Structure 1
Amino acid sequence: MLGLKSGSTGLVLLAAAFIATSPIDIASAQTADTILFNGKILTVDKDFSTQQALAITDGKILATGASAAMKKLAGKTAKLIDLGGRTVIPGLTDGHIHGIRAALTFGTEVNWIGVPTLKDALEKVGQAAKAQKPGSWIVVAGGWTEEQFAEKRRPTPAEVAAVAPDNPVYIQHLYDWLLLSPKAMEALNIRDDSDVPPGGKLARDSDNKPTGIIDAGGAALGKIFDKLPKPTMEQQVDGSKKFFREMNSLGITGIVDGGGVSMYPANYQAVFRLWQDRQLTVRVAYHLCAPKPGSELADLQNLTQLSPPGFGDAMLHFNGPGEILIWADWTDGDITPDGKAKLAELLRWAASKRYTIQLHWNPDRTVHDLLDVVEDINKDFPVRDLRWTVLHLYTASEASLKRMKALGLVWGVQDGLYFGGERLQKEVGVEQAKAMPRIATAMKLGLVVGAGTDAHRVSSHNPFVALQWYLDGTTIGGAKTRGDEEAPSRRQALEMYTRNTAFMANDDDKRGTLEAGKLADLAVLSADYMTAPVKEIGKIKSVLTMLGGKVVYAAPPFAEERR
C-alpha cells in the first residue's frame, strides 16, 4: 500500500463516513427540480422495489423513497406533482420496431391499427378519399389483420373501389398480401405477372382478369411499396413528430429500430433532422440493414466507416448492422451454403468491429445454421459482450435456447403471434403451439429476453397490447394459442420492456430502471399494470410521460404539466 502523507488519516475517515452514508443522505446535499409523490413507483431495480415518490434533478433521478423524504429534497422553485396514487414505471423501450420507417408516412397513411370492423376500416378509406384530391394516393401500409374485424375477412377490390373510386389505393396485409385498386394498378403499370416483382403473383377472377390482389413475400411487397410517391421531407418530419408523440402517449421513451424493408440511407434524414433540432421525444438506437442484395458486406462496411459502435449521443446512436444482413435468406431462415458463408463473413466482420447486431431468424428447424456460425466466430472474437440479438424465432426449442445462452445471445421476442397465433397452430399443431414462444423456459435458463412489437407493417406499436399478449397468449382474434406454462410473470414482462430492452440498446447503464443516477424517463399510467385484470392491460395508456425529466406527453389530470 502506498504511504499516507500527513493528515491522510482524516481523509480516510471522511471517505469511510461517505461510504456509510445512505443514498437519501447523499441526495440531500443536492436539491430536486421536480418531485413526483403520492404514487406507486415501480423502480424495476434488481429487487423490483416499490416507492411512493421520486426526485429529479437535471434530467436524472436524484432519489426514490417516501413522499415526505422526497419533498424535503425539493428546491425553492421545484415542481411538485401529486400522482394521486397512480402507478409509475420506467419509460418503455421497444426492443425491435421499424419506427423510423413508420414515422415517415404516419402523417399521410390511413391507419387500421385496432379498428374493430371492416366496415369502419373502409369508412376510413372513404373519409380519406373525400379529404384528398382525386388522383392522390391512399395507403394502408399494414398493422392490421382480418382477425381483428368482426367480419373476420379482408376487403374485396370492389368494396375499396366503391369508397374511393377516384384514388389509387394501396392496402397491405402483413408481408403476404396486397390489394391495389384499379387506379393503383394503372398508376403502377401492373397488368400481368411479369409486372410484379419476383415472389409476387396476381390473383385472377373467373375471366382470368387480374383482380388487384397480389399474393407476395416481403421482398416483393417492399419493391412495390418503393414505387409509391414519397411524402415530402416536411411531411416526413411532421409525420415523425406525430408518431413519436403517439408513442409517448403509450409510455414509450425509447426504441431500438431494426431498419427493415424499404429502408435506405436517405430514409434516415427526417429522424436526423429531429435529432439535430432537439425535437426528438424518444431515444433512438438504430440499426442499418444491407440496402441491396449481392453486396451486403461491402455496403455495410462503406456505410459504417464513420459510425463506430455507439456513435451518437443520449438521444440517438448507431447500434450496429441489422436486421437484414443477407437478403437471400432473411425471410424465413432457410439458408443456402453460399448464403451461410456470406453470413459468416459478415458476422465475423461485425464481431471484429464489436458491433451490436440484430438478426431476423424465423424457424427453429434451421437456427442451428446460424448458431454454428456464431460458435465458430466466438472462438476468435468473443461475442458474449456484444449483445447480439436473434429476433422472432417464435418456435425456438429448449436446445436452441441453451445454445443461445451459452453464447450470451439475446432473444428478441415480439408480439407477432398476437396477429399470427392461429397461423402457427395450423403450421405446428394446437398442442405444440401451446409451448411457443418458450419465454418462461428462456428466463429459467438465464437468457436476456427483450420485448418489442416489430411494428408497424406486421403489428400494432402499442406496448400494452404486447404486454397483455406476453401474459395471456391470446391473439387479437380471441384464440388462446400459448399455454400459461410459458408465460412470464408481470414483473418479468415489464423487465422485458424496460431493463432488457435498455440492455439491447446498450443503454442499461443510463436508463431502463428508476434508480438514482439514471435518466428520468418514466410514464404515469392510467391504470395499475400490476393489479389490473390481464384482459384490461392492453387498454392502459400513459397520462404523463417524461423524457429526461421533461414532460413530452400529458393528459388529464396532468394536462397542465405539458411544457
Structure 2
Amino acid sequence: MPVGGLVPQAAENAAELVVRNARIHTQDPRRPQAGALAVRGGVVTAVGDDRDTAGHIGPDTRVVDALGRRVAPGLNDAPLHVIRGGLNYVLEPRWDGVRTLRQGLAILREQAARTPKGQWVRVVGGWSAEQFAERRLPTVAELNAAAPDTPVFVLHLYQSAVLNRAALKAAGYDRGTPDPKGGQIVRGGDGEPTGMLLAAPGALILSSTLAKAPPPAGEDRRTSTRHCLRELNRFGLTSAIDAADGFQNFPENYSTVVDLAKSGQLSLRIAYHPFPQTPGQEVDDLTRWMEMADPDDGDAWLCLNGAGENLTWAATDFENFAQPRPELADYEPESRRRFVFSWRTAGDSGCAPPATRPSGAISRCSRNSPPRASSRPATAGCSTTPRRSPSGSLDRIAALGGAVSVQNRLSFQGEAFLRRYGVGAAADAPPVTAVLERGLTVAAGTDATRVSTYNPWVALHWLVSGRT
C-alpha cells in the first residue's frame, strides 16, 4: 500500500534501507531532529519523517523500525589497539566509569576468583585515579588482600603500575633487579621492590612487565577477540584502524584476526599497521614488510593499512606527563619504496617528541618514490600538538600530504598535563581548528586500550566540548 498517498519507487531507484520511528540528529540547524531516513548506495538520500521516506521504499528495500531509539552511523576508531586488546580482553577487568576504588577492588576480586591458574589479572586503561571518590591508586596491600595468590597488574595510564606480591614474583623482580632505562622499580628501605613501577619518563617498564604475563592460547584467543569486537560493536563501532604497539610482532601476533577474517567471524572491519619492534632495526623491518605486502592488501574486513604507530624508537613518546620531557636523538632512516606511514605523538609543546622527527623520516623514506593515491602519511595519536610550534609540525604534515587523528588522552591525563604545562598549553591541545585551517583531514580515535577507554562517545564528547 502507498504511504500517505505516495507511490513507492521502482526497484531500480528504491533505497536499500529505510529506518523509521527513530531519533536522528541531523546536524542541520534548520531541521536538527528527524524520525526517518533512506539510504541508497551508502549515501543518505532522504531525511525527515515517514512521509519523506515512504516514496523511497521499493519491493527489495529493507525497512527497520528503530522503536524510538537513537540512530547513529557506524563509527571508525582511528586509531585503536584492537588486535592487542582483543587477545587479552577476557583477562582484563575494566574500571571504565567505576566511581569508587572500593567497587574497583571488588571487580578485581571477582576476576581473580575465575582466572585460570598461571594467568594474571590485568587492569589496564579506561580509568584514572581522579575518577574515584577516594582519588587515589590502590595500594599493594589492597591488591594482596583481593588476590593473594593470583598475579595482579594494575596499570595507571602510562605513568605507573601497581603489582601485588604474586605479580612481583611472577615478573621476577627482586632486590637484584636493575632499573631499566627510563623506568624505576620503587624499593623500600630494605632494597626490596614495593610493587610500584614508575615511567621515569618512559613507559617501556610498564609494557615490558605486562608482556611477561602469559597470553591466552589457541581457541581462547579467538574467543577473547570475538568478545572484544562485540563489546566495541555495542558502542557503535563498525571499523577501526589498529595502530599496533610494542611487543605486537608482525605477522605472528596477527594470526588470530587473520583466522577470524578467513572464517567470516570478524564483526569489526580492521585496517592494521605493523610496528617495528627493535630499535636500530626499523628500516630493515620496514623494507622486509614492503616486500611482503602493499597497503590495501586484504579485503573489506581485514587489510594492511601501512606502517606505524612507531616509525622509529628514537622518536617514541615518553607518555608520562608528570615527568619532565627528555631530549630526543635525531634519527634519519633511508628507504627506496613508497609506503603508508602512521606515527603517534603527544605533540611538541614541551610535553612530547616533535612530530617533525617521524615526518622527517617519512620524507627520506619516500624521497625517490612517486606518490600513490592510497599512500598518505598520517599522524596517529596526536593528542597535544600545539597550534604554532617552533618546528612547524602541522605545516610539515600538510606538506607531506598527511592527515591528523586526534585522541582524548587529556580526558584521563589532563590533571597531570595542567600541573606541568599550565592552562595555556592545555587550552590549545590539540588545536583542531588550526589543523582544519591547513586543509588537513581530521579523524578521531580513542587510542585505547591501555590509557583511554574504548568507548568512542567519551572521545567525541571531549572533542566537541571545547577542543576546537
TM-score by length of 1: 0.71
2:307 pairs with 1:325: no
Counterpart in the other structure of 2:378: 389
1:273 to 259, 265, 270: 259
Q: CA deviation at 1:393?
A: 5.0
CA drift at 1:442: 1.9
Answer yes or no: is the 8 Å Cα contact 2:383–2:407 preserved in 1. Answer: no
Per-residue deviation at 1:409?
A: 1.8
Q: Note the 1:495-514 alignment, pairs <5 A.
A: none
Distance verdict in 2 for CA 1:406–1:382, change over 3 Å:
farther
> In the TM superposition, what is the alpha-carbon distance from 1:378 to its structure 2 partner?
7.0
Between the aligned partners of 1:166 and 1:415, the Cα distance in structure 2 is 36
2:217 is the alignment partner of 1:223: no
Partner of 2:322: none
Q: Residue 332 of structure 2 aligns with which residue?
A: 341
State the SS of the aligned residue for 2:161.
strand
Say if 1:301 and 1:404 are closer, same or farther in 2 by CA, change over 3 A.
closer
Residue identity opposite 2:377 in structure 1: W
Equivalent residue for 2:340? Answer: 356
**2:430 matched to 1:437?**
yes
Partner of 1:64 in structure 2? 46
Query: CA separation in 2, counterparts of 1:327 and 1:48?
Result: 50
Map 1:118-197 to 2 at 5 A: 118-132=101-115, 136-192=119-175, 194=177, 197=180
Residue 44 to residue 111, structure 1, CA distance change in 2 (3 Å): same
CA contact under 8 A between 1:169 and 1:181: conserved in structure 2? yes
Q: 1:177 to 1:90 in 2, by over 3 A?
A: same
Checking the alignment, whether the CA contact within 8 Å between 1:113 and 1:460 is kept in structure 2 is: yes
2:302 equivalent to 1:316: yes
Percent identity of equivalent pairs: 33
Q: Which has the higher helix share?
A: 1
Q: 1:388 deviation in Å?
A: 1.4
**Cα distance change on mapping 1:411 and 1:334 into 2, 3 Å:** farther
Paired position in structure 2 for 1:519: none
Structure 1, 207-216 or 74-83: larger mean CA deviation: 74-83
Q: Distance in 2 between matches of 1:393 and 1:117?
A: 27
Which amino acid counterpart does residue 191 of structure 1 have in structure 2? D
Structure 2 CA distance for partners of 1:363 and 1:31, relative to 1, 3 Å:
closer
1:521 is aligned to none
* 1:464 maps to 2:446: no
CA apart distance, 1:278: 0.7
Change (3 A) 1:393 1:37: closer
Report the CA distance between 1:68 and its aligned residue.
3.6
1:501 maps to which residue?
none
Relative contact order higher in (CA < 8 Å, ≥ 6 apart): 1
Number of residue pairs matched by the alignment: 441
SS at match of 1:194: coil
Indicate if the aligned counterparts of 1:134 and 1:166 stay in contact, CA closer than 8 A: no
**Residues 476-533 of structure 1, C-alpha deviations (whole Å, 9 max, x = no match):** xxxxxxxx4xx34xxxxxxxxxxxxxxxxxxxxxxxxxxxxxxxxxxxxxxxxxxxxx
Paired letter, 1:157:
V
Task: State the distance in 2 between where 1:158 and 1:88 align.
Answer: 46
Greater Cα shift, 182-191 or 134-143: 134-143
Deviations 1:263-308 (A, max 9, x none): 1122111111111111111111110001322212212222342311
Counterparts of 1:82 and 1:469 in 2: how far apart (Å)? 31
Structure 1 spans left out of the alignment, 5+ residues: 1-23, 473-483, 489-563
Displacement of 1:379 in angstroms is: 6.1
Distance, in Å, in 1 between the alignment partners of 2:307 and 2:32 is: 36
Partner of 1:561: none
Partners of 1:77 and 1:43 lie apart in 2 by 26
Report the equivalent of 1:289.
Answer: 275
The Cα shift of 1:427 comes to 2.3
Decide whether the 8 Å contact of 1:321 with 1:358 is kept in 2: yes
Output the CA distance in 2 between the equivalents of 1:450 and 1:384: 21
Task: Tell me which amino acid in the other structure corresponds to 1:271.
Answer: V
400, 405, 409: which one aligns with 2:398: 405
1:451 maps to 444
User: Matches of 1:44 and 1:448 in 2, distance apart?
Assistant: 19
Q: Take 1:91 and 1:356, find their aligned partners in 2: how far apart are those partners?
A: 25
Q: CA deviation at 1:249?
A: 1.0
Mapped to 2, the partners of 1:136 and 1:306 lie a distance apart of 34
Match of 1:367 among 355, 371, 376: 355
Deviates most, 260-269 or 97-106: 260-269
Which of 30, 35, 38 lines up with 2:18 in the alignment?
Answer: 35
> How far 1:132 moved relative to its partner?
3.6
Within the candidate set 286, 289, 296, 1:300 is matched to 286
Counterpart in the other structure of 1:3: none
Specify the code of the residue in structure 2 equivalent to 1:293. P
Query: Residue 43 of structure 1 contacts residue 90 of structure 1 at CA under 8 Å; is this kept in 2?
Result: no
Change (3 A) 1:203 1:145: same
Contact 1:193 1:201 in 2 (8 A): no
Instruction: Give, in whole Å, the separation in 1 of the partners of 2:144 and 2:365.
Output: 54
Matched residue SS, 1:90: coil
The one-letter code of the counterpart of 2:311 is L
Maintained 8 Å contact 1:414/1:454: yes
> TM-score, structure 2 length as denominator?
0.84
Q: Which amino acid aligns with 2:99?
A: P
- Indicate the structure (1 or 2) with the bigger Cα radius of gyration: 1
* 1:241 is aligned to 2:236: no
CA 1:309–1:77 in structure 2 vs 1: closer, same or farther (change >3 Å)?
Answer: closer
Q: CA deviation at 1:117?
A: 1.2
Cα separation, partners in 2 of 1:370 and 1:299, compared to 1, 3 Å: closer
Contact 2:8 2:55 (C-alpha < 8 Å) held by counterparts: no
Q: Distance in 2 between matches of 1:375 and 1:326?
A: 13
